[in-house]
Chains A and B, each alone.
Chain A
């Protein structure tokens, strides 16, 4: 009995330790990505027309908590982009030339199977998902931490896996899953670079766009 209690205690301590590690890893990522950066995200998603290829550029100005995701693929989303500010989410829709502005808490994504705002803002993603460290894996880019977790509320996905490069703490891969474990989106960060970006660059939109506030 004592042995069992000791074992359970050890498991508990270990899981607590791993849970702390997940937060520690996210803190390291936040510290590492504190200057402006941009990346290209590529993979498969369950889009409006079934399984589709996704290609998007992510621009980040972490000190201003400002992020921009520009969609290049699938073709139906080309020209659309999402801007995430500290309080709002802007979605520009190319086909109707509209900029739909929603408060951050209202801007939930149901249709894409993943949350585009999470691609740039890991801090916001970690607030929506109970992430824990599952272990280390070897990826083509190097050794990575594998974090897994379940969505705290309906974000369009039920669970996710997040791979963080150990040598240069930054995300390498996002996998979003539904309740049954089916992959909704599997996205890899294929290009990453630190660069100079300004707020104006990230917030630009066509001047003739109709702005709709929700």
Chain B
């Protein structure tokens, strides 16, 4: 027993020396929910463990940095828990004038706070910058709120990342108004965007309903 405790302590110390350990207590309906995330850094990437009530995930996340050209992150996680096994695969980032986020997964039952989606879920978001002041975007989502992933795995599309270009040297770029994350939607969502100068319009599909309705950002 003592040997096991020492082994666990050494293991934990090793993990903390080369990684991260995050414990959280989330206040969300129906009550408080604890969560634990641990990551072990490798030469390239990280192996991580995520624990929430009645669900656990083990995965690998890596990244590719292209200097001033761009950055790409990718990952894969397998899950076990209430309802059965599940998994998520994602790749997201940008290079030059292109940015994309692709994410697909399956989970028989959601487990808040770390695993909010349920069933087959996914999102594909593409953005293209044809000129410094213009951004074209397309987003498809299923059972996932449009915009940044609520699970925290989305690193390349942080809040405010869905943005329009402004001439450099005139202060920070203006974040676009975007749909606030809501509960998972049971529909496929299609959305196209085009932005120029200080204006941007979105074209929510009929099935998207109110989720992404918004007007020009200024």
**A→B interface (CB under 8 Å):** 47-49, 69-72, 75-82, 89, 91, 93-98, 100, 102, 106-112, 116, 206-208, 210, 212, 214
Contacts and interface: CB of A to CB of B under 8 A. Distances in A.
A176 B160 CA distance: 37
Contacts of B27: none
Contacts of B156: 96, 98
B168 A72 contact: yes
Interface of B: 63, 65-71, 73, 93-99, 127, 129, 131-132, 135, 155-161, 163, 165-168, 172-173, 175
B67 A91 contact: yes
A39 B166 CA distance: 23
B165 A78 contact: yes
Contacts, number: 111
A-B residue pairs, 6 tightest by C-beta: A48-B96, A76-B97, A210-B158, A109-B67, A206-B172, A78-B132
Contact of B63 (A48, A80, A206, A214): A214
Nearest to B71: A100
Contact of B172 (A48, A102, A208): A208
B68 A207 contact: no
A197 to B, nearest CB: 16
A80 B95 CA distance: 11
A95 B155 contact: no
Contacts of A94: 165, 168, 173
12 contacts: A49-B96, A78-B165, A91-B65, A91-B68, A95-B98, A96-B70, A100-B65, A108-B67, A206-B173, A208-B160, A210-B155, A210-B161
A143 B70 CA distance: 38
A133 B95 CA distance: 37
A206 B170 CA distance: 12
Nearest to A76: B97
A79 B168 contact: yes
Contacts of A75: 97, 129, 131-132
A77 B97 CA distance: 7
Given A79-B132, A91-B71, A206-B173, 10 more contacts: A48-B95, A91-B65, A93-B71, A93-B94, A95-B135, A96-B93, A97-B160, A98-B161, A212-B71, A212-B155
